[in-house]
Structure 1
Amino acid sequence: MSSHSESRFPIKHLIGYIASIVLTGAAAWIALGTELPMGWIVAGIMALAIIQAGIQLFMFMHITETDSGGIQLGNMIYAFGIAGIIVLGSIWVMSFGYHDHGTDGGGSETEEHGGDH
């Protein structure tokens, strides 16, 4: 048996889990418990989100577990590409999507304005 298959306590996972909970609590406190200006709140939450994403990648997603010991660069580029497509596509759909220009979905104007029938 190799040394990697030994049954050990997953201390790295426990530290990552606790750090994630602390960062989530800090973000909630910044958003709900402070009187900071909106720009500072958003900046603080974004900074904590980036830190938490790094913790998730290194402690839970094992991006450094390659044969050479480096980062899985191809997988990271692919994942960021897919995430970018989803974010930009969502922004595009929300910005230029369907707009209802005051019609009632097929009714005639005489019904809307109380015409004589």
Structure 2
Amino acid sequence: MSRRTLNEQEARECKTEQRNYLWGFGLALVLTLIPFGLVAFIDIERMTLWITIGGCALAQVIVHLRFFMHITLAKNKREDLLLILFTVLILVIMCGGTLWILFDLYQRMLPGMMP
């Protein structure tokens, strides 16, 4: 099987893409290890821990969108971003509605146990 040789521009683009993937992998790894290290090895206040985990999770979503899914704020990628935001909206509505129904049922079934 013959291998096609890349011209100079294609080789540069390939190297840039590999560099972006490595940066994304490194950032994702760091953003995973920070909350793990805090939970496993450091005793900090519970609310601070939850905020840190949430912040790292949000940053990791942004890293994945940028480095692995190539979603940017450029004009030609705007449709992809709108599709992802619409998907997030649908998920929030579904999760919020589910929690609303569950808490309403809990209140109706066990009114004496409400905090």
Matches of 1:64 and 1:7, distance apart in 2? 17
Letter in 2 for 1:19: L
Structure-2 residue corresponding to 1:105: none
Structure with larger Rg: 1
Percent identical? 20
Corresponding residue for 1:48?
56
Change (3 A) 1:91 1:62: same
Output aligned runs, 1:35-74, within 5 Å: 35-64=43-72, 68-69=75-76, 71-72=78-79, 73-74=81-82
SS in 2 for 1:79: helix
Residues 17-76 of structure 1: CA distance to partner in whole angstroms, max 9, x if unpaired? Answer: 12111111111111222111101100111111111111011111222286x345444213
Change (3 A) 1:5 1:32: same
Higher relative helix content: 2
Letter aligned with residue 8 of structure 1: C
Number of residue pairs matched? 100
Equivalent residue, structure 2, for 1:108:
none
TM-score w.r.t. the length of structure 1 is 0.65
Partner of 2:25: 17
Partner of 1:8: 14
Amino acid at match of 1:49: A
CA–CA distance in structure 2, aligned partners of residues 90 and 18 of structure 1: 36
Aligned mates of 2:85, 2:30 — CA distance in 1: 28
Q: Where in structure 2 are there 5+ consecutive unaligned residues? A: 1-8, 111-115
Q: Check if 1:87 corresponds to 2:95.
A: yes
